Amino acid sequence: MSWLRKDKSATATVPRTGAGKRILFPFDAHGLAGNALDAALRLARAEGGTLVPVFLARVPLHMPLDATLPRQSKLAVPMQDLVEQRAGKYDVPVDSRIERGRSYRHALRQMIEHERFDMIVLAAAAAGGPGFGADDVAWLLANAPGEIVVLRPALTAAA
């Protein structure tokens, strides 16, 4: 896996006094990229920060945006438990979230609006595969404050 790093420290949000960096790690119902999660956890440990794994839940248009989402919760909750379990091995504190939106990008935008982060670690999708596509990454680089780390998909995943 290689790295594409865009340092926007000039516009970075200010970390909380007395707290380490908050590192946002978004993922969705398509699954968790284990290698990206490990990379995010290593970063969090190196920075002495807190990992904020956020499950992005897509709410269909025919439902209110604040609707209860039992089916997606059944996916999100075990995935978050898995992230916390893995974070325990790295000794990294976690502060999990589930965020709703009309699309994954909308959910991510809502998350960024609701809370402040110092860094966002994003796993890019392999061509045609699940995850964050090139458009999402471009949008995030243009709109999200703070440092953004985009993890390219592993070669095996891209093949």
Nearer to another protein by C-beta: 1 or 75?
75
Please, is 140 exposed, middle or buried when counting C-beta atoms within 10 Å of its C-beta (0-12, 13-18, 19+)? buried
Query: Closest separation between CB of residue 147 and another protein, Å?
Result: 20
Query: Closest separation between CB of residue 22 and another protein, Å?
Result: 10
Kind of pairing, strands 3-6 and 147-151? antiparallel
**Integer Cα distance of 69 and 47 in angstroms:** 34
Nearer to another protein by C-beta: 94 or 137?
94
Angle at 30 between CA 29 and CA 31, to 5 degrees: 90
**Rounded to the nearest 10 degrees, what angle do helices 70-90 and 34-47 cross at?**
50
Nearer to another protein by C-beta: 119 or 151?
119
Q: Give residues in contact with another protein (CB under 8 A).
A: 16, 19, 50, 57, 60, 62-64, 66-74, 76-77, 80-81, 84-85, 88-89, 91, 93-100, 114-115
Query: Closest separation between CB of residue 118 and another protein, Å?
Result: 14
Query: Closest separation between CB of residue 129 and another protein, Å?
Result: 23
Q: How far is CA 123 from CA 4, 15, 92, 128, in A?
A: 11, 23, 19, 14
Nearer to another protein by C-beta: 38 or 84?
84
